[in-house]
């Protein structure tokens, strides 16, 4: 009974230690992943139904949809069978590595031994030569030559005055493969932790407003444990185009009523606080919001003041009697061929404010002042009114994420980099120099092996021999 059970465990172990299973899993995962790139994942049913109609025709599409759906193709990477593949893959990777690791570890840890006659045949590089001088005489020279090759050699004597020098380098390269495999496990662990304990949601925040909750994808509120406030949002454009250059949210974190952190969040520069990360994701206008026009007003006397006014309100240019009244606003002002103005977008692509000026009650002049065009700030009489912002009408769309597993993913990535470097760019090199007496001469046999890039090591060994043979005979 016990015998049989052991056999079964062994069978399982061998099954998972096999590199053939790895090959099969590589192919299965790669091929099945293709399905998920063709069928849109997590899309509205209509979209994929349309797509299936094009392939299977109108009549078959609904049943095809049902079949696909029951196979989990519409949300494939979370389907039971895809997860199963990944679990099998991890098991394969772990058991296969465990299976081979002890042997490799021994190879790495055990000090190099003099080569035995039996092993000679297994070594791939083999060169011979004859040096002038008895073995005792050439020993130091050979040791120095090995040193200049980067090998600090040990030696052992064999009978009849002969000896062996041997050394190795880069033995940790052997671990590269295992480190690489380990890193994959670490990354997958991080991903699993993220899936089970993470939060992924969003938070739209109007300028001037604050919130202590974010929303999950299904709109359920999620308590953050602190408050986040949007002080300002703005977009900067490339020169005269509507191509955005920078989106920017000025955020403040408030904890227990105190401001604890201020940060300008841009697309590639998120805010991190309390385990959460806030990313600039999108933005927009709040319909019917009443905002403040922030104007920087400079009279010809040179004094500048900043004023905040709402639509319809007025302000005075310092040092004068001139009164400006805000009459109209356009988020994106453009002029058509006949010179008439119109609004071409409901986003703040080109904010403009229409102001009427009067001097002691008499209408003086009026016109559009555009945020992006400084030439419109200068009034006919030399006074300057700059539109700094129309504040309070935009919201910033923040993506909110908490992922307690992400550090493992990063750690795994680092380990993987190290592992791949060892596996592909380092090589375990071993060299044995066998010397025996031949009258007044020494017969030298150089045996060497490299776990990677053998030809390059072979060339090095050849050069080593050529250098020595400078003083050699035949």
Partner 1 sequence: MDSSVLFGVATIGYMLSMVAYITYLVFRNRQIGLVATGITVASFIAQTIAFLMRWVEGYEMGLRSFWRPPISNLYESLIFFVWCLILGYLIIEFKYRNRSFGAFITPVAGLALAFIEMTGMSKEIQPLMPALQSNWLLAHVTMSFIAYAAFGLSFGTALMYLIEKTEERTEPAYIFWTVSLGVLIVLLAAMGLDFMKYHVLATNSEVIKDYLFRATFKSGSSVVSLASWIGSVIIIALVWRYGYLLKKIVAAFNISTDLLDELTYKTVAVGFPVFTLGGLIFGAIWADQAWGVYWSWDPKETWSLITWFVYAFYLHARLMRGWRGRKVAVVAVVGFVAVVFTYLGVNLLLSGLHSYGALG
Q: Output the CA angle 228-229-230, nearest 5 degrees.
A: 130
- Asked if 314 touches partner 1 (CB under 8 A), the answer is no
Using the contact rule CB under 6 A, the part of the chain among 177-185, 327-335, 433-441, 455-463 near ligand HEM is: 177-185
Q: Check: CB of residue 428 under 8 Å from CB of residue 156.
A: no
Cα–Cα distance, 267 to 348 (Å, whole number)? 18
Coil, strand or helix at 431: strand
Using the contact rule CB under 6 A, the part of the chain among 107-115, 176-184, 268-276, 348-356 near ligand HEM is: 176-184
4-41 b/e (C-beta count within 10 Å ≥ 16 → b): eeeeeeeeeeeebbeeebbeebeeeeeebeeebeebee
**What residues between 179 and 208 interact with ligand HEM by CB under 6 A?**
180-181, 184
Token pair for 125: 């590089």
Using the contact rule CB under 8 A, the part of the chain among 21-29, 50-58, 124-132, 333-341 near partner 1 is: 21-29
Binding mask 6-35 for ligand HEM (x = CB under 6 A): -------------x--x-------------
| Binder of partner 1 out of 307, 416, 426, 446 (CB under 8 A) | 416
Q: Output the CA angle 267-273-279, nearest 5 degrees.
A: 20
Using the contact rule CB under 8 A, the part of the chain among 54-62, 109-117, 326-334, 423-431 near partner 1 is: 423-431
Task: Select the binding partner of residue 247 from partner 1, ligand HEM, none (C-beta < 5 to 8 A, by kind).
Answer: partner 1
Q: How far is CA 26 from CA 12, 192, 202, 417, in A?
A: 19, 20, 35, 21
Task: Select the binding partner of residue 220 from partner 1, ligand HEM, none (C-beta < 5 to 8 A, by kind).
Answer: none
Coil, strand or helix at 456: helix
Strand order in the sheet with 384-391: 304-309, 292-298, 384-391
Least separation in angstroms between residue 173's CB and ligand HEM is: 10
| Residues in CB range of 79: below 8 A, 6 or more apart | 71, 72, 73
Q: How many residues bind partner 1 (CB under 8 A)?
A: 48
| Binder of partner 1 out of 87, 246, 260, 310 (CB under 8 A) | 246
- Asked if 43 touches partner 1 (CB under 8 A), the answer is no
- Asked if 409 touches ligand HEM (CB under 6 A), the answer is no
Q: Check: CB of residue 306 under 8 Å from CB of residue 295.
A: yes
Binding mask 174-213 for partner 1 (x = CB under 8 A): -----------------x--------x-------------
Binding mask 66-85 for partner 1 (x = CB under 8 A): -----------x--------
| Binder of partner 1 out of 244, 319, 367, 397 (CB under 8 A) | 244
Burial class (CB in 10 A: 0-12, 13-18, 19+), 148: exposed
Task: Select the binding partner of residue 59 from ligand HEM, partner 1, none (C-beta < 5 to 8 A, by kind).
Answer: none
Q: How many residues bind ligand HEM (CB under 6 A)?
A: 12
Nearest alpha-carbon partner for 440 in 25, 177, 57, 135: 135
- Asked if 286 touches partner 1 (CB under 8 A), the answer is no
Q: How far is CA 150 from CA 168, 175, 227, 278, in A?
A: 9, 21, 60, 51
Chain residues binding partner 1 by CB under 8 A are 19-20, 22-23, 26-27, 29-30, 33-34, 36-38, 41, 77, 191, 200, 238-239, 241, 243-247, 266-270, 277, 279-281, 399-401, 406, 409-410, 413, 416-417, 420-421, 423-425
């Amino acid at each position: 009974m016990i015998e049989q059970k052991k056999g079964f465990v062994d069978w399982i172990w061998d099954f998972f230690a096999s590199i053939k299973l790895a090959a099969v899993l590589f192919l299965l995962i790669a091929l099945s992943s293709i399905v998920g790139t063709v069928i849109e994942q997590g899309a509205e049913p209509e979209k994929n139904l349309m797509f299936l109609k094009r392939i299977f025709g109108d009549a078959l599409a609904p049943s095809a949809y049902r079949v696909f759906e029951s196979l989990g193709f519409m949300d494939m990477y979370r389907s039971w069978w895809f997860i199963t593949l990944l679990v099998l893959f991890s098991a394969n990777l772990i058991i296969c590595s465990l299976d081979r690791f002890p042997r490799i570890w021994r190879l790495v840890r055990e000090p190099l031994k003099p080569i035995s006659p039996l092993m000679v045949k297994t070594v791939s590089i083999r060169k011979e030569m004859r040096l002038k001088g008895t073995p005792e005489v050439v020993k130091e020279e050979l040791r120095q030559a090995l040193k200049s090759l980067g090998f600090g050699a040990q030696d052992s004597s064999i009978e009849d005055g002969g000896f062996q020098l041997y050394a190795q380098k880069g033995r940790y390269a052997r671990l590269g493969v295992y480190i690489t495999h380990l890193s994959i496990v670490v990354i997958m662990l991080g991903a699993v932790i993220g899936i089970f304990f993470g939060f992924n949601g969003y938070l739209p925040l109007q300028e001037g407003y604050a919130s202590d909750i974010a929303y999950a994808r299904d709109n359920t509120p999620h308590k953050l444990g602190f408050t986040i406030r949007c002080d300002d949002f703005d977009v900067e454009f490339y020169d005269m185009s509507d191509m955005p250059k920078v989106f920017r949210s000025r955020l403040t974190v408030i904890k227990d009523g105190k401001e604890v952190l201020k940060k300008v969040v841009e697309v590639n520069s998120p805010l991190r606080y309390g385990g959460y990360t806030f990313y600039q994701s999108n933005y927009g206008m709040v319909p019917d919001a009443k905002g403040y026009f922030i104007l920087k007003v400079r009279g010809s006397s040179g004094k500048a003041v900043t004023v905040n006014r709402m639509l319809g309100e007025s302000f005075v240019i310092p040092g004068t009697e001139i009164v400006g009244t805000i009459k109209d606003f356009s988020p994106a002002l453009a002029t058509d061929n006949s010179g008439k103005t119109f609004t071409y977008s409901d986003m703040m692509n080109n904010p403009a404010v229409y102001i009427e000026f009067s001097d002691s009650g008499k209408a003086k002049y009026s016109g559009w002042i555009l945020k992006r065009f400084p030439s419109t700030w200068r009034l006919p009489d030399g006074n300057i009114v700059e539109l700094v912002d129309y504040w309070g009408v935009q919201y910033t769309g923040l993506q909110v994420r908490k992922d307690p597993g992400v550090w493992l993913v990063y750690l795994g990535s680092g380990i993987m980099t190290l592992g791949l470097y060892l596996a592909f760019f380092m090589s375990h090199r071993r060299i044995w120099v066998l010397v025996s007496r031949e009258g007044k001469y020494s017969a030298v046999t150089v045996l060497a092996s490299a776990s990677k890039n053998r030809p390059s090591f072979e060339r090095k060994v050849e050069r080593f021999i050529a250098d020595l043979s400078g003083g050699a005979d035949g």
